[in-house]
Amino acid sequence: MKIAAFSKERLSLRVPPFAISLTAIFLALGLIGILHHEMWRDELQAWMLARDSASVLDLFHNMRYEGHPALWHLSLYGLARITPNPIAMQLFHLAIAAGSVFLVAQFSPFTRLQKGLLAFGYFNFYEYAIISRSYGLGVFLTLLFCSLYGQQSWLAPRPWRTRFLPACLALALLANTSVYGLLLSLPLGLGLGLTLAQRRWSVARGVRAGIGLSGLMTGWLLCYWQIGRLNLADANFQTAQSSAASLAKSWFEPIQKLSETGIKIWYSYVPIPAFWRDRFWNSNVLSALDHLPVIGHRTLDDKVAILLALLLVGLVVRALWHQPKWLLVYGAGTATQLAFIYYFHIGSLRHHGHLFILLVACLWLAAADRDRRAQAESYRRNYEAQGRAELASYRLQKQLLSGLLVLHVIAGLLAYSADLRLTFSASRATAHFLRSHSLDQQVLFGYRDFNVSTVSGYLNQPIYYPNLERFGSFWTLHKSMEPEAVNQQVEAFVQQQQRPVVLLLTAPIERPLAGVTLDLLGYFQSQILKRESFYVYLAQPAAHTGNASPQPAPDEEERARS
């Protein structure tokens, strides 16, 4: 991270070769990654909502159980009007991720080494690039805000008043990418407001401030309205929360839950996965260690993770100590995200990554303020005295960021290489099998709906969901069914159709079905997401009720071949 220079030289609009080269390398590797990546449930859910909604109003209606605002889905809605192929979403998402890399390479105050490390870190290179979710768009808008705020942007030679309204717009859009985008937009908006309060006021400046802040708050309210439509009880949103809430049923439960929440800082800042496992995703190298002793109802690795998380937060506080505005933004933003984790949704690594994105944004904005102050005449006159007081903090910022980014690159390369060689989801292979054997035009029956819906995403064909008792693609409310209830639904559905039905199931059928002949066509195994492994059966009405029995499940060798 560069110490501020005192030159008032205006930035050239010419794009340097470094930014072009870094973005091009990222695009090339990212293209290889997305072509090998099999999309999973959450990726294809957004695509199917956009593709299969008849209108924008229908899209908002179908999203009532999603728990996220609609900016990403609206983008996909327009894209799906051009092509129904979900690869279009992957290419669009990769372009957004490449845009984030370009913003970092061209406009951030970091060193070239830090820019390269940030581009190929775990979140930028894998979680928010290879996996297509709304979070990548949120990262782009966060970095766009940082570029507009800082001196090193395409608008930097122009006055602050020119950049203020676009910065407010970026934060308003950020709030409408996801719940976590809102949790980033709120503290960054606080920082923008504090910056505005430090400036001299005039009538024209007050009007601009009113317009910008009104637009920003409108964006926040739109996000709140969309999230507020979610019926938590109906959507089973609390099920993810229960994993943390059910840790203990005694007086120390809040402490248990608080420690579980605090560990997420370590997961976000040091996201190195358990790379020796096929199911590495959402794991952590420290918390995945087995056979460690249990001390006070928590394993030793969890206690170490909590201590390391506190140490990292302490280092960040020390690094930002001489810039209280951004220290406040960092503290408020981190506390808000942790409170959301504690009270609402324990989440996964893709959610916790926003803690790290907030840290990067605060370091970027702190450097931008430092550069701006360094150009002031009063600061230059007292540079020696002020520089000595802040130099240690600046050096710590540089060392802390560089150290974390090295770990992130290790994590990113491990995840990227694992995704290349392992099957993330069996959805694409299953869809290819059905299409290549002309089975995609048959009636499709699938359970569990939120898993087998991925096949519908690739095939662009509806599936009958027995738990919902309807045909569909995306899923809304999930209603669980016991295996015997699924068997009975298969029997009734095949008899009703009186023609061959393709069954897509996440578990094998264990007993003969009355009036149904079953042929096991294949088992498609997912190595990373176990829940997205699929059994494919061909079910036909039997000539005589009860004379058919299911084929045995394939052995390990047959599974490996599939």
Averages of pLDDT over each 10 residues, the chain, 562 residues: 41 75 98 98 97 96 91 98 97 98 95 97 98 98 94 52 88 97 98 86 76 93 86 45 46 77 95 90 81 55 87 96 95 98 93 98 92 60 59 88 98 97 97 97 94 97 94 86 95 95 96 94 96 97 54 43 39
Q: Report pLDDT for 255.
A: 77
529 and 392, same structural domain? no
443 and 403, same structural domain? no
Asked whether 298 and 248 are in contact (CB, 8 A), the reply is no
Tokens for 242, please give them. Answer: 């229960």
518 and 413, same structural domain? no
Q: Report pLDDT for 381.
A: 53
How many Å apart are CA 335 and CA 355, to the nearest integer?
10
DSSP count for the chain of H helices, then E strands: 23, 8
For residue 12, is it within any domain? no
Rounded to the nearest 10 degrees, the angle between the axes of helix 160-175 and helix 203-228 is 10
Q: Report pLDDT for 159.
A: 60
Q: Does a cis peptide bond (omega within 30 degrees of 0) precede residue 448?
A: yes
323 and 219, same structural domain? yes
Residue 74's domain spans which residues? Answer: 17-421
Domain stop point among 378, 395, 421: 421
246 and 152, same structural domain? yes
Domain stop point among 421, 438, 469: 421
Asked whether 370 and 4 are in contact (CB, 8 A), the reply is yes
Q: Report pLDDT for 557.
A: 39
Rounded to the nearest 10 degrees, the angle between the axes of helix 300-319 and helix 324-343 is 150
417 and 431, same structural domain? no
For residue 375, is it within any domain? yes
Question: 531: closest CA among 35, 34, 42?
Answer: 42
Q: Report pLDDT for 421.
A: 95
384 and 311, same structural domain? yes
For residue 365, is it within any domain? yes
3-state secondary structure of 445: strand
Q: Report pLDDT for 147.
A: 94
Q: CB atoms < 10 A from the CB of 226, how many?
A: 21
Q: Give the chain's domain count.
A: 2
Q: Report pLDDT for 432.
A: 98
Cβ-based neighbours of 159, under 8 Å, separated by 6 or more: none
Domain stop point among 365, 390, 421: 421
For tokens 């209108």, name the residue. 55
217 and 185, same structural domain? yes
For residue 3, is it within any domain? no
For residue 10, is it within any domain? no
Q: Classify 33 in phi/psi space as left (phi over 0), alpha (psi -120 to 50) or beta.
A: alpha
For residue 189, is it within any domain? yes
* pTM greater than 0.75: yes
Q: Report pLDDT for 526.
A: 96
382 and 500, same structural domain? no
